[in-house]
Amino acid sequence: MNIYVDSDWAGCHQTRRSTTGFVIELLGTCIHLGSETQGVVALSSAEAEFYAISTGAQEALYVRNFIMEALHTKRVNVRIHTDSSAGKSMATRQGVSKRARNIVLKFIFIQDLTHGGVVSLHKIPTKDNPADILTKYVTAEVLRWLIYSTGINTR
């Protein structure tokens, strides 16, 4: 199962809150996607991306548990893809750095998931991240490509 996550930083001009977008793909087909305003104001783009990774992980665990129960299987590989090196670094290291102490501790659970092998994080190029269509304006050409790449049938 692949999860693609992205965020804009302070995209709402009134509240300065960021938007999280995620696309969950199973067997090359989009099975779940969503976009939501983040509950807190992120102080950096890295923090906004970290929140997006955490939200994507929460959604992925829900779908993973459903699949495991439905298919009576013991393991479903969860691969989270992000275009943010800083967000990926924050999610995979252990603990919180001095610069990131403002991050709400409930989001640190993603570090436990990565260290425990429940999920794995992977860096992808921004141009290949289908979650971009849920967080920012993209050209029609990029939109068509990203929709096609997720397996969504538009006909």
Domain ranges of the chain: 2-149
> What distance in Å separates the CA atoms of residue 120 and residue 150, rounded to the nearest whole number?
19
CATH of domain 2-149: 3.30.420.10
One-letter amino acid of 109? F
Instruction: Say yes or no to pLDDT of 102 above 70.
Output: no
How confident is the model over 60-93, as pLDDT tens digits? 999 999 999 999 988 999 999 999 998 898 888 7
Q: Please, what is the average pLDDT of the chain?
A: 87
How confident is the model over 103-128, as pLDDT tens digits? 666 667 888 899 899 999 999 998 88
> What distance in Å separates the CA atoms of residue 144 and residue 132, rounded to the nearest whole number?
12
Q: How confident is the model at residue 3 (pLDDT cuts 50, 70, 90)?
A: very high
> What distance in Å separates the CA atoms of residue 141 and residue 79, rounded to the nearest whole number?
26
With CA atoms as reference, report the closest residue to 152 among 124, 133, 126, 136. Answer: 133
